[in-house]
Structure 1
Amino acid sequence: MELRHLRYFIAIAEAESFRRAAEKLHVSQSPLSRQMQQLEEEIGAELFEPSGRGVKLTPAGRLLLDRAKAILSGVDAAAKEVRETAEGQIGTVTIGFESGSAYVGPLSTILTRFRKQAPRVNVELVPMSSAQQWDALRAGQISIGYGNYVPDDASLESVVLARHRLGIVVPKQHPLATASTIKVKDLATEPMLMDPRKSNPRLYDDIIAAVRARGVTLNVASEILDGEALLTLVASGFGLTFGAEPAARFLDVGTAIWKPVSDLGLEMRNIAMWRPDAQSPLLRPLVDLVREFGAAPRDRERGLRGRESERQRRPRRGEVR
Structure 2
Amino acid sequence: MPASGARPPRFSYKGSRLKPLRAFCQVARLGSISRAAEALYLSQPAVTLQLQALERELGVRLLERSGRRLTPTREGELLYAMARPLVEGLDGLAAQFREQVRGLDAGELHVAAGSSTILYLLPPIVEAFRRQYPDVRLSLHNVTGASGLDLLRSDAVDLAVGSMLDVPADLAYAPAQRYEPMLITPPDHPLATKPELALEDLSPYGLILPPKRLTTYRLVDLVFQQNRVPYTVALEVGGWEVIKQYVAMGLGISIVTAICLTAADRERLAARSLARWFPSRSYGVVVRKGKFLSPQARAFAELLQPGLLAPRGYDESGHSER
Q: Please state how far the C-alpha of 1:262 moved relative to its aligned partner.
A: 4.5
Match of 1:216 among 216, 220, 229: 229
Matching residue of 2:168: 152
Q: 1:68 to 1:159 in 2, by over 3 A?
A: farther
> Residues 268-287 of structure 1, C-alpha deviation per residue, up to 9 Å, x if partnerless?
2121345652415x545434
Matching residue of 2:142: 127
Matching residue of 1:96: 112
Matching residue of 1:234: 247
Conservation of the 8 A alpha-carbon contact between 2:114 and 2:162: yes
CA distance in 2, matches of 1:267, 1:14: 72
Matching residue of 2:97: 79
Q: Please state how far the C-alpha of 1:162 moved relative to its aligned partner.
A: 0.6
Q: 1:30 to 1:48 in 2, by over 3 A?
A: same
Cα RMSD for the two superposed structures: 3.9
Match of 2:284 among 259, 267, 271: 271
Conservation of the 8 A alpha-carbon contact between 1:160 and 1:269: yes
Q: TM-score, normalised by structure 2?
A: 0.70
Conservation of the 8 A alpha-carbon contact between 1:97 and 1:146: yes
CA distance in 2, matches of 1:138, 1:3: 52
SS across alignment from 1:126: strand
Q: Specify every segment of 5 or more residues in structure 1 that has no aligned partner in the other structure, as ranges.
A: 296-321
2:65 paired with 1:51: yes
CA distance in 1, matches of 2:38, 2:103: 35
> Residues 147-186 of structure 1, C-alpha deviation per residue, up to 9 Å, x if partnerless?
11275354x5653221112232211111111123433322
Letter in structure 2 aligned against 1:79: F
Q: Please state how far the C-alpha of 1:85 moved relative to its aligned partner.
A: 0.5
Q: 1:92 to 1:60 in 2, by over 3 A?
A: farther
1:246-285 residue pairs with structure 2 within 5 A?
246-250=259-263, 252-274=265-287, 277-280=292-295, 282-283=296-297, 285=299
CA distance in 1, matches of 2:169, 2:65: 74
2:107 paired with 1:117: no
> 166-175 or 92-101, which moves further after superposition?
92-101
- Bigger Rg, structure 1 or 2: 2
CA distance in 1, matches of 2:181, 2:148: 22
Match of 2:216 among 196, 203, 211: 203
CA distance in 2, matches of 1:194, 1:36: 85
Conservation of the 8 A alpha-carbon contact between 1:148 and 1:271: yes
CA distance in 2, matches of 1:283, 1:101: 17
Match of 1:180 among 149, 173, 195: 195
Conservation of the 8 A alpha-carbon contact between 1:245 and 1:258: no
CA distance in 2, matches of 1:57, 1:162: 70
CA distance in 2, matches of 1:286, 1:196: 30
CA distance in 1, matches of 2:278, 2:134: 41
> Following superposition, which runs of at least 4 residues in structure 1 exceed 6 angstroms of deviation?
none
1:2-81 residue pairs with structure 2 within 5 A?
4=18, 7-17=22-32, 20-26=35-41, 30=46, 33=49, 37=53, 41=57, 46=60, 48-51=62-65, 55-71=70-86, 76=92, 78-79=96-97, 81=99
Aligned pairs, how many? 287
Q: Please state how far the C-alpha of 1:293 moved relative to its aligned partner.
A: 7.2
Letter in structure 1 aligned against 2:111: I
> Residues 2-41 of structure 1, C-alpha deviation per residue, up to 9 Å, x if partnerless?
8945545433433445565345334565598559856985
CA distance in 2, matches of 1:204, 1:11: 74
Q: 1:71 to 1:131 in 2, by over 3 A?
A: farther
SS across alignment from 1:142: coil
2:123 paired with 1:108: yes
Letter in structure 1 aligned against 2:73: T
Letter in structure 1 aligned against 2:219: D
Letter in structure 2 aligned against 1:145: A
> 179-188 or 233-242, which moves further after superposition?
179-188
Q: Specify every segment of 5 or more residues in structure 2 that has no aligned partner in the other structure, as ranges.
A: 1-13, 310-322
Q: 1:215 to 1:136 in 2, by over 3 A?
A: same
